[in-house]
C-alpha cells in the first residue's frame, strides 16, 4: 500500500507540474515583449507557482520530480556538443583558441581568488574550514566560466551580425561551454574531497583522471547508440522519446556506478554524465552524416525541455533565502563581471584586436543559461547540507546576468560595426515598386502593376541593353533606370526610403548583395526575390524576403488550382474584377477599434490580419493595432477606398 501511495503521489506531482509548465510556456511569452529571454520568464513563473508563493506544487512534490533534471541536463549536454561544428571554425581557431584560453584561465583564477577574499560574506562558506571554502570556490569559479550559446546565437541572428568580433565571440562561447564541462569534472571530484575533508593522495588524483577518461569513452559508446537510433526508420515522436530516455540513462548509469562503487569498493567513482553527453553529440556532429538530423531533433525538443527544466528551477528557489541574501547575489555578480572583464581585455590584447573591439570584448560573455544551471543543479543535489542556499543564490546571479547580458551584447555588436539591423521605412502614401532586372517577366509585371495604379521603376544593368533595344515598344511606357553595379551609392540614388516593394530578378549573387543593402539601409516592407538555385533560398529568409523559386512555385500554383480553384483564381486576380491586397494600418484613429466599429466600403471582405509576423483570422470583435497588415478582398475601387480609410 505504501508503494501504491508513492506511485499516486508521483503521478499527482507530474500532473500538477504539467499544468504549471503549460501555463508557464504561454505566460513567459509576455517577457519577450519586455526584451527578456524566455528562460527568465520560465524561472519567474516557476517562482510564482512554487511552494513559497501560490503553493501550486509543494516542496515534497518537487523532490519527486528530480528525474526532470536528468532528462534536461542530458539534453543540454547534447545541444552543447551539437553547437561545436569544427568545419565552421576553420580559419578562426587561433583567435578563438587564444580568447577561450584567456576566458577559461583568467575568469576561473580571478573568480577563485575574489571568492576566497569575500568567503566570510557568503552564507554557505562563512565560518567553514579553509579546505571547505577552497572546494566551494573551485565549483563556483567553474560555474562562472560558463556562458550561454543559445542566447548568443539568438542575439547574433536578431542583429544579422557578422564579422571577426562576432565570429570570435560565438566560437569562444561554444568552445568554452564544452571545456567548462571538462573543468567541472576535475573541480567537482577535487571539491568532493575538500568539502568532505577527505585527505588527498596520489590515488585520488589518478582516480580523477580515470573518471575523466571513462566519461569520454562513455560518450563514444552513446554516440554509436544514437547513430543506431537515427539509422532505424520510426515515427518521429517515438524517436524523440527514445533519444530523451537514452540521454536520461547516462545519468542513471552515473548514479548506479557511483552507488555500486561506494558500497562494494569503498570509493565513489563519479562518471560525469554531462561530459559524456557532450562527447557523444560532438562526435555525432563532426564525424557522422547525422549532424542535421541531430540539430533538427534538438530544435524540435528544445522548447519542451527548456520550459519544464527552467520552470522547475524557478520552483526550487527558496524565496526566504533569496530575500535574506540578495546582496550576496549582487556581490557574486560583480565578482564574475570583474573576472570576465580582465579575461577579455587580456585575450583581446593577445590577439591584437583593435581598441574599439577590445573595450567591448567582455560584453558577449555575461549571459548564462542551460549549462550553468545544470552545473548548479548537480552541486545542489550532491551537497544537500548547503544545496538550497547555493542553488538559490547562484540562480539569482544567473537571472541578473540574463537581465544585463543580452542588452550589453547587442550594444557591443553595434559598437563593433557588425550588427546589420533592418533599416527604417518611411511611408509616403504612394504605392510604388522597384524591379531589378530587365526581361520579359519584369516588363509584364511592371505593366500589370501599372494597371493597378502602382508607380513602377525598372532598374537595369548595362548588359541588358540588348533586350531594351529589341523590345522598344513594350518598354516605351516604363520608367527604366540604368545602374552600373549593385552598391549602396547607386541604391541611394533611387530614393528607396519610402518605396513600398522591391522585386529582385537578377542573379543569385547580385540579388543577395542587393537584398542585404536594402534590408539594412531602407527597411523596405515587401522584398520579393526570385532565386535560381534552390539551395540559396535559406540565406534570403533572414532579410524577411518573400522567395520565389520558379520550379516549386509552378508546382504549388497547380496544386492550389486543383485543391481550391476559385480561391486561387481570386488570389492571382483571374476572377473578374476582384483582387486581394495587403494594407498597412497607419490611421491612428483606428488603433484599438474592433473591426465591427470600422465602416469599411460595402462589399469589402477582411480575410486576415498579420501582426508581429503572426497571422490572425479575423471576426467582428478583432481589434486593430497600428502597423497591422490587413488583407482585404474587393474590387479595385473598394480596395482604394479601404486604403484611404486605413492609412489617412
pLDDT per position as a tens digit, 270-324:
787 878 888 898 889 888 888 888 888 887 888 888 888 878 878 887 777 777 7
Q: How far apart are CA 505 and CA 368, in angstroms?
A: 44
| Better-scored residue on pLDDT, 646 or 86 | 646
Does domain 71-415 fall into CATH 1.25.40? no
For the cut 80, the answer to whether the pLDDT of residue 575 exceeds it is: no
| Structure confidence by residue, pLDDT tens digits, 576-600 | 567 778 888 888 888 888 887 888 8
Over 70: is that where the pLDDT of 5 sits?
no
Q: Which three cell numbers stand for residue 398?
A: 544567473
Residues in the chain: 648
Helix (H, G, I), strand (E, B) or coil at 634: strand
pLDDT beyond 60 at 534: yes
Measured CA to CA, the distance from residue 525 to residue 499 in angstroms comes to 9
378-387 long-range Cβ contacts below 8 angstroms, 24+ apart: 378/73, 378/188, 378/274, 379/139, 379/143, 379/188, 381/66, 381/69, 382/188, 382/192, 383/195, 386/124
Contact between residue 37 and residue 402 where contact means Cβ atoms under 8 Å apart: yes
Average pLDDT over residues 624-640: 82
**What percentage of the chain exceeds 70 in pLDDT?**
86
CATH 3.30.1330.40 fits 432-555, yes or no: no
Chain CA centroid to CA 13, Å = 30
pTM higher than 0.85: no
pLDDT score at 221: 92
640 CB-near residues (< 8 Å, 6+ apart):
453
- Pair type for strands 432-436 and 501-504: parallel
Helices assigned H by DSSP within 64-148: 66-83, 93-117, 130-145
Domain boundaries, the chain: 71-415, 432-555, 573-647
Q: Please report, for residues 10, 380, 390, the alpha-carbon distance to residue 385 in angstroms, rounded to integers and kept in the order given.
A: 25, 9, 10
Distance CA 282, CA 105 (A): 23
CATH class held by domain 573-647:
alpha beta
Q: Residue 143: CB partners within 8 Å, gap ≥ 6?
A: 184, 372, 375, 376, 379, 394
- Tell me which residue has cell 535560381: 532
Q: Average model confidence (pLDDT) for the chain?
A: 80
Say what the alpha-carbon torsion angle 51, 56, 59, 60 is, to the nearest 10 degrees: 160
- The pLDDT of residue 170 is 76
Q: What is the pLDDT of residue 468?
A: 62
Q: Are 46 and 315 in contact (CB under 8 A)?
A: yes
Quick one: cell of 449? Answer: 502593376
- The Cα-based distances of 107 to 14, 176, 180, 364, 396 in angstroms read 39, 11, 11, 14, 19
Amino acid at each position: 500500500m505504501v508503494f501504491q501511495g508513492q506511485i499516486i503521489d508521483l503521478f499527482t506531482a507530474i500532473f500538477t507540474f504539467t499544468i504549471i509548465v503549460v501555463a508557464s510556456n504561454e505566460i513567459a511569452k509576455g517577457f519577450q515583449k519586455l526584451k527578456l529571454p524566455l528562460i527568465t520568464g520560465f524561472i519567474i513563473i516557476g517562482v510564482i507557482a512554487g511552494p513559497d508563493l501560490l503553493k501550486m506544487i509543494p516542496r515534497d512534490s518537487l523532490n519527486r520530480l528530480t528525474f526532470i533534471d536528468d532528462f534536461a541536463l542530458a539534453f543540454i549536454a547534447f545541444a552543447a556538443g551539437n553547437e561545436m561544428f569544427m568545419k565552421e571554425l576553420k580559419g578562426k581557431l587561433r583567435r578563438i583558441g587564444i580568447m577561450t584560453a584567456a576566458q577559461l584561465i583568467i575568469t576561473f583564477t580571478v573568480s577563485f581568488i575574489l571568492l576566497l577574499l569575500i568567503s566570510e560574506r557568503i552564507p554557505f562558506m562563512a565560518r567553514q574550514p579553509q579546505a571547505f571554502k577552497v572546494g566551494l570556490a573551485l565549483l563556483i569559479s567553474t560555474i562562472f566560466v560558463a556562458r550561454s550559446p543559445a542566447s548568443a546565437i539568438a542575439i547574433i541572428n536578431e542583429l544579422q551580425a557578422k564579422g571577426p568580433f562576432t565570429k570570435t565571440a560565438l566560437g569562444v562561447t561554444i568552445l568554452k561551454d564544452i571545456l567548462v564541462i571538462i573543468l567541472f569534472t576535475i573541480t567537482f571530484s577535487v571539491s568532493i574531497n575538500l568539502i568532505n575533508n577527505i585527505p588527498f593522495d596520489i590515488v585520488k588524483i589518478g582516480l580523477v583522471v580515470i573518471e575523466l577518461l571513462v566519461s569520454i569513452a562513455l560518450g563514444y559508446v552513446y554516440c554509436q547508440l544514437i547513430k543506431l537510433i537515427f539509422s532505424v526508420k520510426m515515427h518521429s515522436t517515438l524517436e524523440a522519446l527514445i533519444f530523451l530516455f537514452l540521454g536520461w540513462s547516462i545519468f542513471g548509469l552515473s548514479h548506479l556506478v557511483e552507488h555500486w562503487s561506494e558500497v562494494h569498493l569503498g570509493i565513489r567513482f563519479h562518471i560525469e554524465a554531462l561530459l559524456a553527453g557532450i562527447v557523444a553529440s560532438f562526435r555525432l556532429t563532426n564525424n557522422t552524416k547525422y549532424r542535421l538530423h541531430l540539430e533538427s531533433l534538438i530544435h524540435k525538443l528544445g522548447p519542451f525541455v527548456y520550459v519544464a527544466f527552467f520552470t522547475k528551477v524557478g520552483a526550487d528557489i527558496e524565496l526566504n533565502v533569496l530575500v535574506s541574501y540578495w546582496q550576496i547575489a549582487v556581490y557574486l555578480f560583480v565578482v564574475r563581471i570583474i573576472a570576465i572583464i580582465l579575461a577579455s581585455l587580456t585575450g583581446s590584447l593577445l590577439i591584437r584586436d583593435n581598441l574599439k573591439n577590445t573595450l567591448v570584448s567582455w560584453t558577449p560573455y555575461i549571459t548564462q543559461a542551460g549549462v550553468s544551471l545544470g552545473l548548479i543543479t548537480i552541486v545542489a543535489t550532491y551537497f544537500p547540507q548547503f544545496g538550497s542556499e547555493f542553488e538559490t543564490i547562484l540562480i539569482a546571479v544567473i537571472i541578473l546576468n540574463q537581465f544585463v547580458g543580452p542588452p550589453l551584447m547587442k550594444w557591443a555588436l553595434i559598437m563593433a560595426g557588425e550588427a546589420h539591423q533592418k533599416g527604417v521605412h518611411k511611408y509616403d502614401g504612394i504605392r510604388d515598386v522597384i524591379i531589378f532586372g530587365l526581361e520579359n517577366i519584369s516588363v509584364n509585371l511592371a505593366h500589370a502593376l501599372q494597371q493597378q495604379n502602382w508607380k513602377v521603376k525598372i532598374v537595369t544593368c548595362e548588359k541588358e541593353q540588348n533586350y531594351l533595344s529589341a523590345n522598344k515598344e513594350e518598354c516605351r511606357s516604363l520608367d527604366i533606370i540604368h545602374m552600373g553595379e549593385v552598391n549602396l551609392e547607386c541604391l541611394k540614388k533611387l530614393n528607396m526610403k519610402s518605396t513600398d516593394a522591391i522585386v529582385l530578378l537578377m542573379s543569385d549573387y547580385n540579388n543577395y548583395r542587393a537584398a542585404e543593402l536594402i534590408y539594412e539601409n531602407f527597411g523596405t516592407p515587401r522584398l520579393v526575390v526570385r532565386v535560381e538555385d534552390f539551395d540559396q533560398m535559406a540565406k534570403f529568409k533572414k532579410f524577411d524576403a518573400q522567395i520565389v523559386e520558379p520550379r516549386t512555385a509552378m508546382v504549388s500554383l497547380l496544386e492550389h488550382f486543383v485543391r481550391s480553384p476559385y480561391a486561387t483564381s481570386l488570389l492571382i486576380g483571374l476572377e473578374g474584377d476582384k483582387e486581394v491586397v495587403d494594407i498597412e494600418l497607419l490611421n491612428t484613429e483606428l488603433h484599438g477599434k474592433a473591426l465591427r466599429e470600422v465602416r469599411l466600403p460595402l462589399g469589402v471582405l477582411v480575410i486576415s490580419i498579420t501582426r508581429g509576423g503572426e497571422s490572425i483570422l479575423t471576426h467582428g470583435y478583432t481589434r486593430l493595432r497600428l502597423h497591422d497588415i490587413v488583407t482585404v478582398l474587393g474590387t479595385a475601387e473598394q480596395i482604394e477606398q479601404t486604403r484611404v480609410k486605413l492609412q489617412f
